[in-house]
Amino acid sequence: MKLLKKTLRQLIQEAIALDIEKGDVILTGRFKNKRRIVKSIGTDKWGQPTINGKSILKFKIEKNMPKNKWSAKSREELKESPKRKKMKLLRETIRDLLAEIVQIPVPDSRTRVVHNVEEEVTEEMLEDMISVLPLWEAGEHEQVATLLQDMHSLGRRQVHAYMEEAEEMKNYGQINGNVPEWVTDYFYDKFSEEW
């Protein structure tokens, strides 16, 4: 008796109540604009609810269908043993735990993070720096830095250091020495003709 009550309670909880009776008017069709009068309410061969012999669902309830009509995944899950399910759950749990443990720390806003992706400077880069030197001298430092970074893999500090050295060599004929010696010689050769 207890089993029967429990089963009935489950059926009642699972039931989807539709307020439809024989004689009611429903709208059907693709755009739900065709007027139909309910003559019969039943189920089709797969156990899906129907009105006037037509399915009222745009989806199928799998548990009401024969098992050979179920999706491949559901049939596979039915075949899976409890041990296999536990192993799969264990693997997923381990992956989740590892993902939590091996998180990449996110620096807070007060910490300054510097990424060194700077290339070794070539003569071509120095030529590009000399070509944008008038912009630099006009005070467009950010624009020049962005332009050079788009053209070459240079860091912002590296661009500023080289551009300041080029500007000093052009204007004063001297250099601070914050760049390699061959760069100093290159700038000297380029700008000594202008003096």
Q: How far apart are alpha carbons 184 and 31 in whole angstroms?
A: 77
* Cα Dmax for the chain: 110
Contact in structure between 121 and 162 (CB atoms under 8 Å): yes
DSSP assignment of 125-167:
HHHHHHHTHHHHHTT-HHHHHHHHHHHS---HHHHHHHHHHHH
H or E stretch covering 96:
helix 82-101
Q: How far apart are alpha carbons 56 and 32 in whole angstroms?
A: 12
Residues 6+ apart with CB under 8 A from 4: none
> How would you write the pLDDT of the chain (195 residues) with one tens digit per residue?
677 777 767 766 666 677 788 888 877 777 777 878 889 988 888 777 888 888 887 656 667 778 788 778 877 777 776 777 777 888 888 878 777 776 555 555 555 544 444 557 788 888 888 888 888 888 888 888 888 888 877 777 888 888 888 888 777 777 666 777 777 777 778 777 665
Query: For residue 15, how many other CB atoms are within 10 A of its CB?
Result: 8
Copy the structure tokens of residue 94.
Answer: 């381990």
How many angstroms separate the Cα of 39 from the Cα of each of 51, 53, 105, 168?
A: 7, 9, 66, 95
